[in-house]
Structures are given as structure tokens and as C-alpha cells.
Chains A and B, each alone.
Chain A
């Protein structure tokens, strides 16, 4: 479990996030939503150990402040929004970097094949020999996901769950690959790992999230299931946009159509 309690981040003189608390359970997909500038990415960077913060964050009971980079690398992997390279690496060479920490969890004789397997998983089989810089933005993002998957290939290692942090994983993807990536994240959680994702798409959020954390003005507005959290009132207040939340009758999954906006 990842536990975030009373976390604040101050950059320069500006408080970016304040008193943020929530838990992300193993076996679940926790989705962070909120408008631009609400502090989602700052929260993710604090979780990743990139930013100094006040308060406490623990991964499987270990305080983040006491963990070394290589210890954190064995517990979680992080997909950044985008990655640019300055040298001509092939796709396979990039994916292989995910094995750097040496804790993929795969058996040694399988580990050498992991990059190809991970590429097949993100629907990029046969792309290993291409140069990363020649790919489209969406393809690059999926290459990075394959790399990140190699790092924590087994969602559970030594009886401890491991975590995937995904910062807008589907932002530059077409709808087919949005669904593929969300399925991969879903499967990671089903197999015992934990997923924390930042998403802008409220419909994907309501389809896949076990738990939704709504950020608003640097604070947590509320935490709960999609049904509990995605309401007309909250969307009006947080996103300043009057939208009508619908619900599919069979599964009670809320959906939100931009067409319903009252402008």
C-alpha cells in the first residue's frame, strides 16, 4: 500500500499542494483527476521522490524519505509524460534500460527476452530495431511504457506488491491504444500490483478506476469510487463546467459527454 498523509509541496514561495492525504491499495487502480494546475503532476513527482515535501509518504510501510533510489526502483516504476533522447538508441535498447535495477522479478533466462515481450504487450511487436527518435509521439509513449513494465515485470515480488505510476499514460494515444494501455494497467492491478495514474479522461477514469482522487487547487477535493465522486455538482465546482453525468443502466458506470455542456 502507498499511504500519503498530510503532504505539502512548496516550490519557491508558492504552495503547490497542501495537506494531501489518501491511500493507494495494491490490487487497485487509483486515478488522480483534476483540472490543469490543480497539482496532479506535482503530487506524482512527490510520490516519485523527485521533490522535497512536508508530511509523510510510505510505500509498503517504508518511509519514502529513508529509501535509496535503488530501493525505490525495486518497488515502483514511473512512466513520465514524455521522454526525449539526445542519442540514437533503438527501441529495444530503450526498453532494455528498464532492466537496469535488476529487479524485474522475471527468471534470469526469461529476462533477456523481456524487452521483446513488453513491446508485444504494448502492441509494438517488431518495432525493436527502429530508432526511438523516428517514432510518433504515441509510439514513443508506448515504448516508454514497455520499459517501465520491464522494471516491475512481476507485480508482486518477495510477497510485496509493486507499483506503477503513470502520468497521463494515454494523452497522445488513439482510442484503440488508450484501451490497450488501460487494460495493461488493469491487469497489473488484478495480478496484485498497485497502479496510480493521472488521467484527464473522466470516462476512462470511471471505466477503470477502483478509487478516484479529485485534486482541486492543490488540495484533495474528495476520494472515492467513480460513482461517488463524479457528480454534476463536483464537476461544476472543480472543472467550472456544467456537465450532465449519465449512467449506463447495466453497470452503473457514470459517463460524461462534452455535448451535455451548458455553456
Chain B
């Protein structure tokens, strides 16, 4: 013991300063990856502005993003870019970030890389809230709409997500240990329950509501506009802004609830905050775009393979990669069958579900499900 301590005296290492990085310290790599992802998001945004059924060009897209003289754009390009593509891209980026971050937070909270709002029924709960407002907004829920007006849809989705997360936590967690099997099965039960109610509400819906519901169930960014952005944006932006402050607690929780508390983290209060953040992010995203699956489980998982599970880096990296991936998926859905478009939920599920299976296979040897 003394010998190994002598071989690497502390004084020598501290003199070497920041130039040498200790073994197993991935923070430098993580910062590098975050910078690269930020750049990638920027590029994705520019190309998304230029991509679509209409032919507004890359040059006009870049011009639109730069401050100053916008007269150079033709009126048509200006409408396409400012009023159609830009709100959709801003909302798409926010929703992608929010899905990935709520996935990462939930996985940290449940100490389980398979926990994702979409898979464990939380999105279904948000959907239940949203559909209730769509269908019953004119009748039973009219007072609710009167109170929250503009924000009724995201608020209802938020409460749906919150209630479902709380039920899930109560069912699946005993003394700070989450049973993987119980969590996934409880998620299936909650999802089925929500679908049953959504089915019932669909049965009650009139024609106009039905069209809203169908479009919403498949998951789509097609209805994005500035008013929707204004309704859901505050929820998503606040959730994203709070998430960096969850990193320390989530890292501690990786050791288990008792050890996290021994490290000085007020675990019960922390869990309540994290659950509200997940519900806000999931609720607002689902309210706008319906069920876009698998972003929340795939993005954090890929990033853990590269930069490790330290949430100080995992959360911002997830936000950036989630935003880019959703914008790419949206660009695919807008162009692959142009001039018509595919619901984005189909694209993310087609790519995400196989990746999810791959994660399961990788874990099979390590953890008994």
C-alpha cells in the first residue's frame, strides 16, 4: 500500500497540473462531446429550415437566421421559413430535448436504463389528460378550460403525467429499490388503462375531435405554430432549465437512496422535484406532439456508452442529441413522402424500437429481467 502511494506522489501529479487527466475521468471527453453536439444541433437547425416540400433554399434559410435585413427573402420564402418551418423547428428541438432529458432523469430516478416515460406509461397518462381536454373541453371540463384557457392542454397533460408517475413510483419502488419487472409490468397496466379511457373518449368524440385525436395519437409535429409553442414552451423550458440542478442528486442516487442521503442529498425532496420535472417535460411534449416514442430511452443510452453516466454531462448532452435527432426524424417525415408527410412517431418508433431491443439484448447477460 505504502509502495503504491510512493510511486505516485500527490505533489508530482499536482505539479503536472491540468495537462494530464486521471484515468477513468471522462469529464474532458464529455465536454468535447457536448461542444460537438451543440455544433451538430446548429447545423441540423439550418438544414431543417431548408428541407421540406417547398423549395425555400439553404441560402434563404441561413439568411433568415441572421439578424438584420430580411427584405432579401421573397415573401413566399419568408412565410414558409418564419411561420411554418421555424415554429416547427423550435418546437421540435424543444420536444426532442425534453423527451431525452425526461428519459435520462427518469432512468436516474428509478436507477434503471429502461425507464422511459413512453415505455412505463407516463406518456399515456399525459395523453389521457390531453385527450380528456380535447374531447370533454366543451362539456364537463369547460370550467377547467375557463381557468387555464390557453394552457389547458399542457396543464392537463402535465397532471396526467404527474399522477401516473406517482402511481408508478408507489407500485414499483420498495425501500428505495425499484424492481425492473414490477416497473415494466406496472407501466403496461397503466398504459392499458390510459388507452382504455382514451378509447372511450374517442368513442364519444365528434368528427372534428376525431381528426385531432388521430393526428395526435400517431405523434406529429405537423400542427406546430407559434401559439402552440407559447403554450407548451414555458413548461419545457423550465423543466430543461431545472434539469442541470438534478445532476448531483441523480449521481448520488446511483449508489442507492441510503448512500445518496449519506452523501448529504435530501433524497425525499429531491425525488419530488425530479418527478415534477419529468411530468412537466413529458406532459408539455405529449400535449403538443402526441406520443413520440423511444427518444427518451435511446438517446441517454447511446450517450452513456460514450461519455459515461455522470449526469452533469449526460443531461445537457441528452438535450442536445435529443433535439438534433428529433429534427432529423422530422426532416425525414416531411420529405420521405413529400408533398404529403409521415407522422414523426412512426419514424422514431421504426428506428427506436430495434435499438431498444438491442439494449435489452446487451443487458440480458448482466441483469435478470
A-to-B contact residues, CB < 8 Å:
45, 48-50, 68-74, 77-78, 80, 83-94, 96-98, 100-101, 109-110, 113, 115-117, 120-123, 125-130, 133, 151, 180, 183
CB nearest neighbor in B for A102: B264
Q: Which residues of B contact A84 (CB under 8 A)?
A: 256
CB nearest neighbor in B for A116: B22
Q: Could you tell me the distance between the alpha carbons of A96 and B247 in the complex, rounded to whole angstroms? A: 14
Contact yes or no, A97 B26, CB < 8 A: no
Contact yes or no, B252 A97, CB < 8 A: yes
Q: Could you tell me the distance between the alpha carbons of A120 and B2 in the complex, rounded to whole angstroms? A: 8
Q: Could you tell me the distance between the alpha carbons of A70 and B1 in the complex, rounded to whole angstroms? A: 32
Q: Which residues of B contact A183 (CB under 8 A)?
A: 1
Give the residue of A70, A88, A97, A126 whose beta carbon is less than 8 angstroms from that of B23: A126
- Minimum distance in angstroms from A64 CB to a CB of chain B: 13
Q: Could you tell me the distance between the alpha carbons of A72 and B265 in the complex, rounded to whole angstroms? A: 10
Q: Does B113 lie at the interface of the complex (its beta carbon under 8 Å from any beta carbon of A)?
A: yes
Q: Could you tell me the distance between the alpha carbons of A57 and B198 in the complex, rounded to whole angstroms? A: 53
Q: What's the A-B contact tally at a CB cutoff of 8 Å?
A: 123
Interface size class of B (residues with CB under 8 A): 35 or more
B-to-A contact residues, CB < 8 Å:
1, 4-5, 7-8, 10, 13-14, 22-26, 111-113, 248, 251-252, 254-256, 258-259, 261-267, 304, 308-310, 366
Q: Could you tell me the distance between the alpha carbons of A143 and B262 in the complex, rounded to whole angstroms? A: 16
CB nearest neighbor in B for A98: B263
Contact yes or no, A92 B8, CB < 8 A: no
Q: Could you tell me the distance between the alpha carbons of A128 and B25 in the complex, rounded to whole angstroms? A: 8
Contact yes or no, B111 A86, CB < 8 A: yes
Q: Which residues of B contact A123 (CB under 8 A)?
A: 1, 4
What DSSP secondary structure best describes chain B's contact surface? loop
Q: Which residues of A contact B22 (CB under 8 A)?
A: 92, 113, 115-116, 128
Contact yes or no, B261 A91, CB < 8 A: no
Q: Which residues of B contact A86 (CB under 8 A)?
A: 111-113, 254
CB nearest neighbor in A for B250: A87
- Minimum distance in angstroms from A142 CB to a CB of chain B: 11
Q: Which residues of A contact B113 (CB under 8 A)?
A: 86-87
Give the residue of A45, A129, A151 whose beta carbon is less than 8 angstroms from that of B263: A151
- Minimum distance in angstroms from A151 CB to a CB of chain B: 7
Q: Could you tell me the distance between the alpha carbons of A177 and B332 in the complex, rounded to whole angstroms? A: 58
Contact yes or no, B13 A77, CB < 8 A: no
Q: Could you tell me the distance between the alpha carbons of A183 and B23 in the complex, rounded to whole angstroms? A: 26
Given A109-B14, A180-B1: A130 and B24 within 8 A (CB)?
yes
Q: Could you tell me the distance between the alpha carbons of A101 and B259 in the complex, rounded to whole angstroms? A: 12
Contact yes or no, B264 A93, CB < 8 A: no
CB nearest neighbor in B for A49: B261
Q: Could you tell me the distance between the alpha carbons of A89 and B209 in the complex, rounded to whole angstroms? A: 48
Q: Which residues of B contact A88 (CB under 8 A)?
A: 304, 308-309
- Minimum distance in angstroms from B320 CB to a CB of chain A: 20
- From A77, A100, A115, residue with most partner B Cβ within 10 Å: A100
Give the residue of B111, B256, B266, B310 whose beta carbon is less than 8 angstroms from that of A68: B266
Contact yes or no, B25 A48, CB < 8 A: no
Q: Could you tell me the distance between the alpha carbons of A92 and B283 in the complex, rounded to whole angstroms? A: 37
